Amino acid sequence: MVSRIKLDPAVFDPSATSGLDDYSHIEVIFAFHLAQRTCIATQHPRGNTDWPRTGILAQRAPNRPNHLGVSVCTLTAVDGLTLTVHGLDAIDESPVLDVKPYLPEFAPRGAVRGPAWSSELMRNYF
């Protein structure tokens, strides 16, 4: 899915994106502006009772204590304060709070693991 992020010129100077097009990926920090304002301690991911009940910090549900989302996206174009990305995990009109270049040096070192239900959940996500 292709998305366009239009950064607020009242917050970001046009020079803020200078050099960003040298990166293939970015991390987007955004607000879950439509999420419920209550934090659910445990729940079945996506409400699917076939998956185990897990704590909010063991899943990526939007009803979090801080209402912040983070998504790593492929950056396909930079046009001033408009960024074109692929794979943004946010809904339309989500307020973008910050953008950071994705640096592989900050990626996990070694093997990455997770529960089987998370792989099932993400199988056809994008």
pLDDT tens per residue across span 12-67: 999 999 999 999 999 999 998 887 777 778 888 888 899 999 988 888 777 777 88
- The 3-class SS string of the chain reads CEEEEECCCCCCCHHHHCCHHHCCEEEEEEECCCCCCCCCCEECHHHCCCCCCEEHHHCCCCCCCCCEEEEEEEEEEEECCEEEEECCCCCCCCCEEEEEECCHHHCCCCCCCCCHHHHHHHCCCC
Q: How confident is the model at residue 10 (pLDDT cuts 50, 70, 90)?
A: very high
Domain ranges of the chain: 2-122
pLDDT of residue 76: 98
pLDDT tens per residue across span 61-117: 777 778 889 999 999 999 999 999 999 999 999 999 999 999 999 988 899 899 988
pLDDT of residue 78: 98
The answer to whether 88 and 74 have CB atoms below 8 angstroms apart is no
pLDDT of residue 46: 84
Looking at domain 2-122, its CATH class is: mainly beta
